[in-house]
Structure 1
Amino acid sequence: MNGQLRKDVIPGRRVQVVQKQDQRTGKLTEGIVKDILTNSASHPHGIKVRLTDGTVGRVKEIIAE
């Protein structure tokens, strides 16, 4: 699943995000969602989240449990 729909991104779910400084390279960071920062129902570049380690980025992939 990609992370463009807010309903798919749930706190506690493992995801891969791209951080602002990594957008050019596309480097992904894996972690667990702590907070959802995007208020709209969808976003073309991915829902912005904060991970449990404090990393902020846009969800590129939701890892199946």
Structure 2
Amino acid sequence: MIDGRQRKNIQIGLFVEIVQKHHQISGELSEGKVSKILTKSLNHPYGIKVQLESGLVGRVKNVIE
């Protein structure tokens, strides 16, 4: 399993599952392709924040291989 908390593991075009801010409590996941990487730091304890091609923004929970 690829770690979504490490920026080096996330690339534009990757298919990922994210959790949006308003779904953090329920843990509901959305999936899509990464269009932008929004987190500047090398890692983040809750996941790297990305924007998907659909426009959704959230933190990466899983990278789908």
Q: Same fold (TM over 0.5)?
A: yes
Q: Distance in 2 between matches of 1:7 and 1:15?
A: 14
Identity of aligned residues (%): 50
Task: Tell me how large the CA RMSD over aligned residues is.
Answer: 0.5
* Counterpart for residue 34 of structure 2: 33
Distance apart, 1:2 and its partner CA: 2.8
Structure 2 unpaired stretches of 5+: none
The list of structure 1 runs, each at least 4 consecutive aligned residues, that deviate by more than 2 angstroms after superposition, is none
The size of the alignment, in residue pairs, is 64
Equivalent positions of 1:4-43 (< 5 A) are 4-43=5-44
* Counterpart for residue 51 of structure 1: 52
User: TM-score, normalised to structure 2's length?
Assistant: 0.96
Structure 1 unpaired stretches of 5+: none
